[in-house]
Amino acid sequence: MYFKFSLRKHPESGKLSGYYRLVESYRNADNRVCHRTILNVGFMEEVSAEQLNKIQKQLTDKYEHKIPLFDEKGDPAVKQYVQDFWQRIVSSKKLDIKSAGELSRMVDMDTLQHSNAREIGAENIAYQTWEKLQLTPLLLSHGFTQEQAKLAATQVISRAIYPASELKTTRWIKENSAVCELTGYDPDKITKDRLYKSALDLYGVRDAMEKHLSKRTNELFDLADKIILYDLTNTYFEGEKRNSALAKFGRSKEKRKDAKLVVLALVVNIEGFIKYSSVLEGNIADSNTLSAMIEKLANHTCQGPAVVVLYAGIATEDNLKLIESKGYKYLCVSRTKLKNYQYVPDRLTTLLETKSKQTIRLRSVTTEKNTDYYLEVKSPSKEKKEEGMKLQFEKRFEQDLQRIHTAIHRKGGVKKLDKVHQRIGRARERYPSVQHYYDITVDSDDKKNLATDIKWEKDVDRHLEKNEGLGIYFLRTNLDVKEEAVVWNIYNTIREIENAFRTLKTDLDLRPIYHKNDDATMAHLHLGILGYWLVNTVRYHLKNNGIKSCWKEIVRIGNTQKVITTSGINTYDKTITTRKCTVPNRNLKEIYDILQTKHRPFTKRKSVVHKPETKKTENAEKQKLLSG
């Protein structure tokens, strides 16, 4: 801004005098220099040229928010003029006057840069769940330091979202995830060795954490634990595991006969929350694991009277007596099919439609030998499966018999009578479920002790009896029940423990195990169980509100939200850096609202980097020459 004057006749003195205007120069759209009047100042006969220069300079500095380097007293008249003129400029609104704060926020769009984009949505869901479960105070009360508790939270959240080895988890935390920005742990300190140590520390407080989580989830969701589910699964090791006390060869559920196993036993309520867990040797029999579970169950907020639901492999007579002696009720599949049973009089046959649109038939039955309540279940899907297995076994059994027949009539074939009967016995041994309704006759030459022919046919009555028993199994309980549908619905809650195992093995990557020593193996399994607590807490809350997505889908939705660092240069040539979360999409907002979680973990983090001062550098020889 500068002053521009024109000669005018002064109305008071009648003489020609300078009439001043405060003018601003600018370039228009055609890049031409133009002028516009900001303020009509008027006659200023008493102001010197030096004062005019000072006034226009100070007004320009004030407009551009420039601060003088030295605080000079200055001319009082100049200060008064500057103050009066500035107030008139502001009130006239001729200039687009912005505050220093507003100008500092004006960033050149061409200088904007986005960097350090990381995933934060799924991490935010898991971290808020960790806080709701109050796990940090629990760890602090058991001797963890603040830094150890933050590292533990970081590791468990990482296991839930990105289940991988400690080395891969370290890379993921440092390069992909914003989990450390939530937990407060320094990502530069993350190493695979620290993660190994943290997992072992967490396993050291396993019992305390299980008790706390069992109680805490019951409080959060008002659960009573009236029905308890018990089952076992196993996972396999990669490697020989020569000196391991846990790793043993057994019956692998993944059909890995070449690998050693470890058994994981879980007690789960019908909502899917773990009440108790145990890691056992890979070759332990299912029926030998129940006693330790019953002893621990009462200490984990389940003090009866509760119903223990279990599979037939665990439900031996001794185990059922043990459950009953501890004050619990039981419900299981009968280990054997009942024979010589009668239908309970005055009890109607119940037909139920399953979720797969199949009709289940339920009938109460009694036997003279047993006092428990038995329920006969006729399942169409099981009948279809058993029918297919029966036909396959019949085909294979008859193929074995046909090979015996061919050998009898072939030169050089097996014809000795005792050898033929031995081959028939082996065929019966291989297919015990179908051999009993086949009548097999062997024609022989008694003088030579040779078989001359073999014939077989199905016994019609026994085959019909077999067909009528397809798809039928029996539920056994010591509950005093009046309705067949109640028993069926209680037993079907055991599907929840199957979901728990599926989540652990698939979503949380519990299999296979690569750790070499048993302590690391136990810590690995426990870390997966802790991750499952976060997963099931989130999914249970969402399922109650109509969202039944699997955990991987929830993580995918959460990963659509990022946190990004944006930097740019403002009008003062300073670098402004902000770190903000992206706005969650519609699906993620719905999840956040159900979980009562903030849509953004943090709103904005800002920093200002001032432009470095230019330093005058001269080489030593030049300075020496100039100094003489």
User: pLDDT of 199-247, one tens digit each?
Assistant: 999 999 999 999 999 999 999 998 888 888 888 889 999 888 888 888 8
What's the whole-number mean pLDDT along residues 115-126? 94
- Per-residue confidence band for 356, with pLDDT thresholds at 50, 70 and 90: confident
**pLDDT number for residue 276:** 87
What's the whole-number mean pLDDT along residues 567-583? 85
Which residues make Cβ contacts (< 8 Å) with residue 170, sequence separation at least 6? 190, 191, 192, 195
- Per-residue confidence band for 254, with pLDDT thresholds at 50, 70 and 90: confident
**pLDDT number for residue 622:** 47
Query: Rounded CA gap, 269 and 121, in Å?
Result: 29
The answer to whether the Cα torsion of 192, 265, 254, 258 is positive or negative is positive
**pLDDT number for residue 535:** 95
For residue 207, give the nearest of 288, 272, 301, 282 by alpha carbon: 301
pLDDT digits (tens, 9 = 90+) for 520-533: 999 999 999 999 99
- Per-residue confidence band for 416, with pLDDT thresholds at 50, 70 and 90: very high
> Which range has highest mean pLDDT (4-18, 241-255, 302-316)?
241-255
**pLDDT number for residue 606:** 57
In the chain, the percentage of residues whose pLDDT exceeds 90 is 45
Give yes or no for a contact between 216 and 198, defined as CB atoms under 8 angstroms apart: no
**pLDDT number for residue 385:** 93
Q: Which amino acid is at 338?
A: L
Helix (H) or strand (E) holding 275: strand 274-281
- Per-residue confidence band for 346, with pLDDT thresholds at 50, 70 and 90: confident
For residue 456, give the nearest of 426, 435, 484 by alpha carbon: 435
Query: Rounded CA gap, 477 and 493, in Å?
Result: 15
**Which of 256-265, 580-589, 617-626 comes out lowest in average pLDDT?**
617-626
For residue 490, give the nearest of 235, 269, 303, 335 by alpha carbon: 269
Query: Rounded CA gap, 526 and 530, in Å?
Result: 6
Which value, in Å, is the radius of gyration of the alpha carbons in the chain?
42
What's the whole-number mean pLDDT along residues 172-182? 94
Comparison of pLDDT for 14 and 604, the residue scoring more: 14
**Which of 85-94, 181-190, 377-386 comes out lowest in average pLDDT?**
85-94
pLDDT, the chain, mean:
87
For residue 451, give the nearest of 471, 481, 422 by alpha carbon: 422
- Per-residue confidence band for 137, with pLDDT thresholds at 50, 70 and 90: very high
Give yes or no for a contact between 374 and 341, defined as CB atoms under 8 angstroms apart: yes
pLDDT at 128 over 60: yes
Exposure b/e, 483-496, CB count within 10 A at least 16 = b: ebeebbebbebbeb
pLDDT digits (tens, 9 = 90+) for 26-59: 787 788 888 888 888 888 878 888 888 888 888 8
3-state secondary structure of 118: strand
Catalogue the E-assigned strands of 44-160.
113-119
**pLDDT number for residue 547:** 93
